[in-house]
């Protein structure tokens, strides 16, 4: 039996935007099935540029990206985008149909799946995010925290290999933050979470990768990286006042 390929394999990816600005300088990253990894780094580090390579929105620089063994290329883009589900920072960028159910059905319907399968996926994805029973409601009637969870469901209904979350805790109140953490830690997918919220990274992701200046500058257990004051200081990462990562259970 051969081992499963990594969920994400990024090899020597370098990328310059069309205006000549070089944002990535040779990034290597391997994430295995079932891992939850935080992608940390200051503004302008290249986090978004890297994420846009994972689903093939950006290509054409140096290096290679593969998702569960499938190389990201023009001919594989449709399948790559099913395998890598990106949850945007603003849920309202992801929810545009009259009802929650139609939003969650949108992706599977585009795949051409039979309606009975679409309906089953909608029900399952909403249940996974603790939102069963809201399928008939308009998204704008939900709270911000509920809309963010529905945005996660719109991606889960595609049965992705990797769930990429951009700042999942932003603008959430403490209860919404806790509810989302409970949902995310229970999902059976590989997860890459881009965040400036270091306590949330510690709570959700056993491993973190720090990107700065377009290169990976650290990769290891989140608790160890966050306890390294020199590392944090060098890369403009700050823990909340009084927060001690070694004392969080």
Q: Which residues of the shown chain bind ligand ATP in the complex (CB under 6 A)?
A: 17, 19, 21, 23, 41, 43-49
The enclosing H or E element of 92 equals none
- Phi/psi zone of residue 159: left (φ > 0), alpha (ψ -120 to 50 degrees), beta? left
- Identify which of residues 45 and 142 has a Cβ nearer to ligand ATP in the complex: 45
How many residues appear in the chain? 249
Shortest Cβ distance from residue 69 to ligand ATP (Å)?
26
Shortest Cβ distance from residue 51 to ligand ATP (Å)?
8
What b/e readout covers 91-119, taking b as 16+ CB neighbours within 10 angstroms? beebbeeebbbbbbbbbbbeeebeeeebe
Tell me the C-alpha distance between 101 and 139, whole Å.
Answer: 9
Q: What is the bridge-based pairing of β-strands 215-221 and 22-31?
A: unpaired
Shortest Cβ distance from residue 165 to ligand ATP (Å)?
13
Shortest Cβ distance from residue 194 to ligand ATP (Å)?
7
- Identify which of residues 69 and 233 has a Cβ nearer to ligand ATP in the complex: 233
Picking from 208, 10, 169, the residue whose alpha carbon sits closest to that of residue 89 is 169
- Identify which of residues 103 and 197 has a Cβ nearer to ligand ATP in the complex: 197
Picking from 91, 151, 106, the residue whose alpha carbon sits closest to that of residue 126 is 151
- Identify which of residues 17 and 96 has a Cβ nearer to ligand ATP in the complex: 17
Shortest Cβ distance from residue 21 to ligand ATP (Å)?
4
- Identify which of residues 12 and 79 has a Cβ nearer to ligand ATP in the complex: 12
């Amino acid at each position: 039996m051969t081992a499963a390929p990594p969920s994400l394999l990024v090899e020597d990816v370098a990328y310059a935007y069309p205006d000549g600005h070089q944002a990535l300088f040779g990034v290597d990253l391997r994430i295995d099935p079932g891992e939850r990894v935080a992608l940390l780094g200051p503004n302008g580090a290249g986090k978004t540029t890297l994420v846009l390579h994972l689903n093939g929105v950006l290509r054409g620089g140096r290096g290679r990206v593969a998702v569960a063994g499938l190389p990201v290329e023009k001919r594989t883009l449709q399948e790559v985008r099913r395998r890598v589900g990106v949850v945007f920072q603003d849920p309202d960028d992801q929810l545009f149909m009259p009802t929650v159910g139609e939003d969650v059905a949108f992706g599977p319907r585009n795949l051409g799946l039979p309606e009975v399968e679409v309906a089953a996926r909608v029900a399952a994805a909403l249940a996974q995010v603790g939102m069963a029973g809201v399928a008939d409601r308009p998204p704008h009637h939900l709270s911000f925290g509920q809309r963010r969870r529905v945005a996660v469901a719109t991606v889960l209904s595609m049965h992705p290999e990797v769930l990429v979350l951009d700042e999942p805790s932003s603008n959430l109140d403490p209860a919404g933050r806790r509810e989302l953490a409970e949902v995310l830690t229970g999902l059976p997918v590989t997860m890459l979470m881009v965040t400036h919220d270091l306590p949330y990274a510690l709570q959700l992701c056993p491993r973190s990768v720090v990107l700065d200046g377009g290169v990976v500058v650290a990769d290891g257990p989140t608790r160890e990286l966050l306890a390294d004051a020199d590392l944090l200081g060098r890369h403009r990462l700050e823990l909340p006042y009084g927060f001690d990562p070694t004392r969080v259970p």
